[in-house]
């Protein structure tokens, strides 16, 4: 039996609010893409040597990471939460959106409002400036209010679990994940020693909650995989109850967060190690069975040239990149660029699933149909570019290239180093083209669709 893992699209204010969140997600992804161009140039052989400002590299990296792996994903999640909510308190939903937009603006303009020092903490790097920290604080407040609003307006799954019920439950789990991440940030802030230096301070502050955010992103990717499977016409060899159980496993892992905080000091090695183990163990138990089911279904059904083609491409590329990121995680040895290679693979796997889901949502939200062949080409370009990018990082990591350091600052000690970073640069350029093509396709559809409605 083919279960439909899709969400009904409401026709009231929730739909308009979801469209606003989608606009924010696309615009912040555009901003991340602009800064990624600067990053690729600063690490590409020869060209990187022409950029003498190492601090410029770090500033661009901070904005790129926050926009591409924080604001973009959580804005997209807010769009889905808006579609998943009951029609209550429309003023609250709109006010929260305005607050988050204000936060994003503060973060975007902060590099241009005077000198600021980049602090390269894991998960959420920061600029040591009042504008950036104000924006980050407002964003945390806005997302806290958003998840509280989402949880207060949840639909009940019901006694009979349907495909739509599983999607609703998965989105509810993701909202709980963000709430737990924010609670972890607050707990860390309360327990932080006052004498920690700047970068260490933020590293400890964001470590626990940052891991919980990765759970949230994984849950959102699983929602997108199920939705894309239905859009691609796949028949998954698992029932809605089994799919719901997989989300519950991820939720259990999230609920173990307070246990770690209670058992260990936040500055201890054990605290850091247990969050790493929890992410690997809980994430694998949730994702692996679903990935196997989707791969099996993909081999059972041949691709066609209908709207299902872009959904299938999104599934294949997301599975490949997320899997590559997971495998690279086992190759990490030291503080080199294998670490961002692992992270890029996983986060790009999430992004590809959300890109594919965007293509399925545009017609449902009232916008023009996309060119599915062009959409599939975009997904392949972006994924292949990112794969080359992380392959170059892994290669360069074998030569000891340090992470978070511009090439102008560390030089090129060997031909292997140059080859690896050159591959990274070429892949980054192709990925950037693919990313901008996605933004172009989506904006074209949304602008044309709005003009037709008027």
Helix ranges, 301-371 (H): 308-329, 338-364
Say what the pLDDT of residue 414 is. Answer: 55
Helix (H, G, I), strand (E, B) or coil at 126: strand
Q: What is the DSSP string of 15-46?
A: HHHHHHHHHHHHHHHHHHHHHHHHHHHHHSTT
Say what the pLDDT of residue 88 is. Answer: 81
Helix (H, G, I), strand (E, B) or coil at 87: coil
Helix ranges, 153-239 (H): 163-191, 198-231
Give the span between the Cα atoms of 434 and 445, in whole angstroms: 17
Residues 6+ apart with CB under 8 A from 269: none
* Residue 381 tokens, joined: 């370009």
Half-sphere exposure of 41 (CA within 13 A, CB side): 13
* Residue 177 tokens, joined: 């994940």
Say what the pLDDT of residue 403 is. Answer: 52
Residues 6+ apart with CB under 8 A from 451: none
- Residue written as token pair 């439909």: 4
Say what the pLDDT of residue 151 is. Answer: 87
* H/E segment holding residue 117: strand 117-119
Say what the pLDDT of residue 358 is. Answer: 96
Residues in the chain: 454
Say what the pLDDT of residue 390 is. Answer: 84
Our CA angle for 82, 87, 91, nearest 5°, is 80
Give the residue among 5, 17, 399 at the shortest CA–CA distance from 224.
Answer: 5
Cβ atoms within 10 Å of 201's Cβ, excluding its own = 19
Q: From residue 375, how far is each of 21, 136, 209, 353, 360 by CA, in Å? A: 21, 33, 34, 13, 11
Q: Are 376 and 313 in contact (CB under 8 A)?
A: yes
Say what the pLDDT of residue 145 is. Answer: 95
Report phi then psi at 118, rounded to 5.
-80, 130
* Residue 113 tokens, joined: 């409002």
Cβ atoms within 10 Å of 413's Cβ, excluding its own = 11
Cβ atoms within 10 Å of 69's Cβ, excluding its own = 23
Let me know if domain 13-453 sits in CATH 1.20.210.10: yes
Exposure pattern of 358-383 as b/e (b: 16+ CB <10 Å)? bbbbbeebbbbebebeebbbbbebbb
The series of mean pLDDT values per 10 residues for the chain, 454 residues long, is 84 93 96 77 56 64 90 96 88 93 93 80 89 95 94 72 90 94 95 83 92 92 95 90 91 90 90 80 80 91 65 94 79 61 83 96 89 92 89 65 49 58 77 92 85 49
Helix (H, G, I), strand (E, B) or coil at 148: helix
Say what the pLDDT of residue 52 is. Answer: 47
* Residue 56 tokens, joined: 């410029």
Question: Residue 128 pairs with which residues in a beta bridge?
Answer: 117
């Amino acid at each position: 039996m083919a279960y439909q893992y899709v969400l009904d699209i409401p026709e009231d204010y929730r739909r308009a609010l979801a469209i606003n969140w989608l606009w924010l997600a696309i615009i912040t992804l555009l901003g991340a893409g602009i800064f990624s161009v600067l990053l690729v140039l600063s690490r590409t052989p020869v060209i990187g040597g022409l950029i003498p400002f190492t601090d410029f590299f770090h500033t661009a990296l901070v904005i790129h990471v926050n926009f591409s792996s924080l604001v973009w994903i959580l804005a997209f999640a807010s769009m889905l939460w808006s579609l998943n909510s009951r029609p209550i308190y429309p003023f609250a939903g709109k006010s929260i959106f305005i607050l988050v937009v204000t936060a994003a603006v503060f973060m975007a303009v902060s590099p241009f409002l005077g000198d600021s020092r980049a602090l390269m903490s894991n998960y959420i790097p920061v600029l040591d400036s009042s504008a950036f920290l104000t924006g980050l604080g407002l964003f945390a407040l806005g997302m806290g209010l958003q998840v509280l609003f989402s949880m207060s307006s949840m639909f009940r799954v019901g006694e009979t679990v349907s495909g739509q019920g599983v999607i609703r439950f998965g989105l509810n789990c993701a909202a709980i994940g963000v709430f737990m991440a924010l609670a972890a940030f607050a707990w860390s802030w309360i327990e932080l020693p006052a004498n920690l230096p700047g970068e260490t301070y933020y590293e400890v502050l964001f470590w626990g909650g940052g891991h919980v955010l990765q759970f949230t992103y994984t849950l959102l990717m699983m929602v997108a995989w199920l939705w894309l499977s239905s859009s691609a016409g796949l028949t998954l060899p698992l029932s809605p109850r089994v799919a719901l159980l997989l989300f519950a496993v991820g939720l259990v892992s999230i609920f173990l967060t307070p246990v770690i905080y209670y058992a260990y000091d936040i500055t201890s090695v054990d605290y850091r190690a247990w969050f790493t183990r929890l992410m690997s163990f809980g994430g694998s138990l949730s994702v692996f069975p679903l990935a196997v089911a989707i791969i099996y279904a993909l081999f059972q059904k041949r691709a066609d040239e209908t709207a299902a083609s872009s959904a299938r491409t999104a599934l294949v590329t997301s599975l490949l990149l997320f899997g590559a990121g997971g495998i690279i995680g086992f190759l990490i040895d030291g503080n080199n660029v294998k670490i961002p290679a692992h992270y890029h693979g996983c986060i790009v796997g999430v992004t590809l699933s959300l890109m594919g889901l965007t293509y399925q949502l545009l017609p449902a939200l009232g916008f023009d149909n996309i060119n599915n062949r062009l959409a599939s080409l975009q997904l392949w370009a972006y994924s292949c570019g990112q794969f080359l990018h992380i392959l170059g990082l892994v290669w360069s990591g074998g030569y000891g290239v340090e992470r978070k350091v511009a090439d102008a600052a560390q030089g090129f000690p060997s031909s292997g180093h140059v080859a690896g970073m050159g591959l990274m640069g070429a892949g980054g350029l192709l990925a950037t083209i693919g990313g901008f093509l996605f933004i172009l396709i989506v904006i074209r559809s949304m602008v044309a669709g709005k003009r037709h409605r008027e």
